[in-house]
Chains A and B, each alone.
Chain A
């Protein structure tokens, strides 16, 4: 492997607020190949802001700086808006948390997938339509033709999330950022969505960044895990070695979950050491 798909070095996201500067991400570095990388952390750890900064979606008044932020050799920080537009949704796409809020409520699902496809590929409407239907089938919709003409409010959460995955993968991206893709879904439905995501990512050899607060889920789904705390990566490890985590924060997070396997009472809680945030 010569150049990694994504190369992030010393990424920082700052918010200049009236009350002072809040640094949400403080020097995050990692490289992504064609693999499944998980980013785990609690709320406020900066995991979502990391994902957004890569796509240039940091909301104002946020400011992003980095020593290096390159996708396949293209510097994302100095790239023109035009280049960014072709990358976003084309070669890099993002699946958001809640399909209820991230799908357009006044457009049918099929129209939305066609729009996403035609924004990046020169294709006739018929081609785009075929592609959209094929994509809906790839995400295991039982009746693609029917789902095609439905509006987002007419489908369930699991179907909405699958429709969003279809929309994001229709352009055959090289990299997918999934920000809590299953947190709004039921356990059994989310397993189904993950299985589809896993299949498509493996089949197409994409790079995947999977952002989640659920350590157990991430470790069972990804190859490699970054654990974030207070805007920093405190630990990076192979998902299968999660049990041997070194950092006290990761260990604490693992222990404080109740499990079906054993009955610990009271549950160990996390004593936050101020030095972790330094």
Chain B
């Protein structure tokens, strides 16, 4: 479904040159969920942004359905690939109602039958028709993220790019959104790329994942081997350890990180 080949993203030139993504390649099968994990600055979000045209591709290729993407991306691309952002407080227009937010993609792509589509989209993300004419400030964080997911799904894309979709949410709301995403993928046969710093979230939603650090791919592994602790790389091990909570007997992950 999605093929990333030797992707490089470079910002600036000369002294100010920053290599945000260095030679990253991976392949995602149709209907699969693929995770990108790493600390901030590891380039995981930049990979997503490069796929959907929000960051420049300096070198390498991005293939969707076997076809290389063009810059700027065409309408057909956005019909196939849509994105959900991290902060639902920032990604919805504060002065547009839910109805207007959801009808905009339909209008851009000249879709008919907007009314029924909007009501269906709301139903899919578990919200009733009563939410249709609300403004974002009249919704809770979890409801906003549901609207952001509905907006991404309303064009019936095949690929959903998820950039930390639950990290701005409370634990109990996070569980609801993760269940929703899991359920939608199964029902609609979607392909996901999930970016998160939380290993447990990635392992829950994805089958395969790529650990990134300083713009480079460190290790591609299976969620299964994360669970069983079979990840070979020292950096991955350090991440696993840090995600287990604070340990008073210092196991010195800092050393593993430096190495």
To the question of whether A and B form a pair in one complex, the answer is yes
Interface residue ranges, A against B (CB under 8 Å)? 42-43, 157, 186-192, 194-195, 198, 213-217, 219-221, 252-253, 256-263, 265-270
Q: Evaluate contact between B242 and A267: CB separation under 8 angstroms.
A: no
B residues whose Cβ falls under 8 Å from a Cβ of A: 39-40, 141, 170-172, 174-176, 178-179, 182-183, 197-201, 203-204, 226-227, 238-240, 242-248, 250, 253-254, 257
User: Nearest 7 pairs between A and B by C-beta?
Assistant: A220-B245, A256-B175, A258-B204, A270-B172, A186-B39, A187-B242, A42-B170
In contact, A260 and B175 (Cβ under 8 angstroms): no
Residue pair A258, B245 in contact (C-beta under 8 Å)? no
Residues of B within 8 A of A252 (CB): 172
Question: Which of A186, A195, A253 is the one whose CB lies under 8 Å from B171?
Answer: A253
Whether B172 lies near A187 (C-beta < 8 A) is no
Q: Give chain B nearest CB distance to A95 CB in angstroms.
A: 16
A258 touches B183 (CB 8 A): no
Q: Are B245 and A219 in contact (CB under 8 A)?
A: yes
Task: Give the most central of B40, B141, B201, B226: most A CB within 10 Å.
Answer: B40
A195: which B residues are within 8 A, CB to CB?
Answer: 246, 250
| Contact A260 to B39, CB < 8 A, known contacts A187-B242, A216-B245 | no
| B38: nearest chain-A partner, CB-CB | A186
- Measured between beta carbons, the chain A residues less than 8 angstroms from B238 are 188
Known: A192-B254, A270-B172. A198 touches B227 (CB 8 A): no
Residues in B neighbouring A186, C-beta threshold 8 A: 39-40, 197
Which residues does chain A contribute within 8 Å of B170, judged by CB atoms? 42-43, 213
Q: Are A258 and B201 in contact (CB under 8 A)?
A: yes
A216 to B171, CA, bound (A): 11
Given contacts A186-B39, A187-B39, A195-B250, contact A263 B204 (CB under 8 A): yes
Q: Is the CB of B227 within 8 A of A261?
A: yes
> Given A191-B242, A194-B246, A268 and B175 touching (CB < 8 A)?
yes
CB <8 Å contact, B253 and A267: no
Establish whether residues B246 and A221, one from each chain, have CB atoms under 8 Å apart when the complex forms. Answer: yes
